[in-house]
C-alpha cells in the first residue's frame, strides 16, 4: 500500500488537495487522528478490497492527538509501507484573507486573533515541514495549477488519460441528460426510422450506421464536431477537469445519435482518451 500524508497550515488548501488525490484514485480520509493510524492499517489488512493508494489528511484539527503523528508514521515504516508527506502552506497575508473571506475562525484557537494562531501553528508544524517530501505554497495557485503540481510530484503524466470522457446518445423526447457538458443535435440528418428494414435496429448495427454516415451532411457535421472537441477537450484537461460528458441527441435516441456517439467514441479512443460510451435510450 502507498500512503500519502496531507498536512500543513490551516487554510492552505488541504481540502482542495484531497480532491486532487481523489481524482487520481486515492482512498482519502479527512482529519484522521494519528493515534488511529494503527487501527486503520489493521482494518485495511483485513479488508478483501484491493486498496493500494491511500491519502490521509492529518493536521492540527486533531488537537492533542496531533503530537502522536511522528510515532505512528514510524509504525508505517516498521510495517514496510511507503509513505510521502505533502505539506501545504501559504503566505500569512493570503491565509488571513482566506479566513476573513470565509468568516472562519482558526481551528487552533477560535477565540484568538488569526495572526497569532498562524504563527503558533507554523511553530507546531515546523518539524513536520522539515520532514516533508514535498512543500507546496498555494498562495497564487489555481486549482488546475495545484493539480498539475501534485501530478508532477506523483510522477503522473499530465495527458489525456487524466480526464474521463463519457459519450452519450439520447432521445430528445425523453429529455436532455442533465450532466451534459456538450449537447449536439443530429435531428436534421436523414432518419433511418423511415426505412422499414432499419426501423427496429439501432446505430450499434452496421446497416443503420452505414446508412446514417452515407450522407455528406453527416460526414461534414461529424468532422466539425471532431474539430471543435479536439480543440476543447485538451483545454479542459489543462484546466484540471477530471470528467466531461458529451451528449448526442436525435428524436428517439435509437439511430442517428447512437451512430454519432459510436463514431466519436472511436475517435477519442484512438487519440488515447479514457472513454465510456452510454446509449441512454437505445433498446
Does residue 264 register a pLDDT over 80? yes
Domain count within the chain: 2
Residues 9, 87 share a domain = yes
Residue 148 maps to which CATH number?
A: 3.40.50.300
User: Do 175 and 49 lie in a common domain?
Assistant: no
Is the same domain home to 174 and 140? Answer: no
Q: Where are the alpha helices (DSSP H) in the chain?
A: 14-23, 37-46, 69-78, 92-102, 114-131, 143-153, 206-212, 216-238, 256-270
Residue 208 pLDDT > 80: yes
- Residue 14 near residue 6 (C-beta atoms within 8 A): yes
Cβ proximity of 76 and 83 under 8 Å: yes
Considering the domain architecture, whether residues 13 and 145 belong to the same structural domain is answered as yes
How far apart, in whole angstroms, are the C-alpha atoms of residue 139 and residue 108? 20
In which band, very low, low, confident or very high, does the pLDDT at 160 lie, cut at 50, 70 and 90? very low
Helix (H) or strand (E) run with residue 275 in it = strand 274-279
Last residue of a domain, one of 138, 153, 168: 153
**164 and 119: one domain?**
no
Question: Both 240 and 215 in a single domain?
Answer: yes
Helix (H), strand (E) counts: the chain: 9, 9
Q: What percent of the chain has pLDDT over 70?
A: 96
Task: In whole angstroms, give the CA distance from residue 130 to residue 247.
Answer: 49
Structure letter (DSSP) for residue 231: H
Task: Among 137, 153, 169, identify where a domain stops.
Answer: 153
- Give the mean model confidence (pLDDT) for residues 16-39: 89
Considering the domain architecture, whether residues 220 and 256 belong to the same structural domain is answered as: yes
Check whether residue 93 and residue 127 sit in a common domain: yes
Place of cell 479527512: 30
Q: Rounded to an integer, what distance in angstroms lies between the CA atom of residue 110 and that of residue 163?
A: 40
- 191 and 121 inside one domain: no
Handedness of CA 171, 175, 180, 184 (dihedral sign): positive
CA distance 113 to 120: 11
Residue pLDDT, tens place only, 213-244:
999 999 999 999 999 999 999 998 877 788 89
Instruction: Kindly report the length of the chain.
Output: 283
| Domain-terminating residue out of 129, 153, 177 | 153
Which residue range(s) make up the domain with 188? 160-279
CA–CA gap between residue 137 and residue 10 (Å, rounded): 12
Phi, psi dihedral angles at 108 (to 5 degrees): -65, -40
Same domain, yes or no, for 174 and 273? yes
Assess whether 142 and 210 both reside in one domain. Answer: no
β-pairing, 27-30 vs 82-89, is unpaired
Residue-wise pLDDT tens digits, 86-103 = 999 999 999 999 998 888
Query: Within this chain, do residues 101 and 48 fall inside the same structural domain, yes or no?
Result: yes
pTM of the model: 0.62
Average pLDDT over residues 48-52: 75
What's the pLDDT at 48? 63
Amino acid at each position: 500500500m502507498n500512503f500519502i500524508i496531507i498536512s500543513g497550515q490551516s487554510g492552505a488548501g488541504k481540502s482542495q488537495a484531497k480532491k486532487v488525490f481523489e481524482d487520481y484514485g486515492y482512498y482519502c480520509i479527512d482529519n484522521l487522528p494519528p493515534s488511529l493510524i494503527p487501527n486503520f492499517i489493521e482494518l485495511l489488512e483485513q479488508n478483501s478490497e484491493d486498496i493500494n493508494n491511500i491519502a490521509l489528511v492529518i493536521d492540527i484539527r486533531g488537537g492533542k492527538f496531533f503530537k502522536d503523528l511522528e510515532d505512528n508514521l514510524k509504525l508505517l515504516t516498521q510495517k514496510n509501507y511507503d509513505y510521502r508527506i505533502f505539506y501545504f502552506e501559504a503566505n500569512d497575508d493570503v491565509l488571513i484573507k482566506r479566513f476573513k473571506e470565509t468568516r472562519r475562525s482558526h481551528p487552533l484557537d477560535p477565540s484568538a486573533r488569526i495572526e497569532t494562531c498562524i504563527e503558533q501553528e507554523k511553530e507546531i508544524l515546523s518539524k513536520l515541514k522539515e520532514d516533508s517530501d514535498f512543500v507546496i505554497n498555494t498562495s497564487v495557485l489555481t486549482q488546475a495549477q495545484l493539480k498539475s503540481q501534485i501530478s508532477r510530484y506523483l510522477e503522473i503524466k499530465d495527458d489525456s488519460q487524466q480526464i474521463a470522457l463519457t459519450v452519450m446518445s439520447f432521445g430528445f423526447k425523453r429529455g436532455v441528460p442533465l450532466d451534459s457538458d456538450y449537447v449536439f443535435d443530429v435531428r436534421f440528418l436523414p432518419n433511418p426510422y423511415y426505412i422499414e428494414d432499419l426501423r427496429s435496429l439501432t446505430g450499434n448495427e452496421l446497416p443503420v450506421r452505414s446508412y446514417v454516415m452515407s450522407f455528406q451532411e453527416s460526414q461534414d457535421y461529424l468532422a466539425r464536431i471532431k474539430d471543435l472537441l479536439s480543440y476543447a477537450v485538451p483545454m479542459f484537461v489543462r484546466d484540471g477537469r477530471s470528467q466531461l460528458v458529451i451528449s448526442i441527441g436525435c428524436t428517439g435516441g435509437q439511430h442517428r445519435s447512437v451512430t454519432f456517439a459510436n463514431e466519436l467514441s472511436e475517435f477519442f479512443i484512438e487519440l488515447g482518451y479514457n472513454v465510456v460510451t452510454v446509449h441512454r435510450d437505445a433498446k
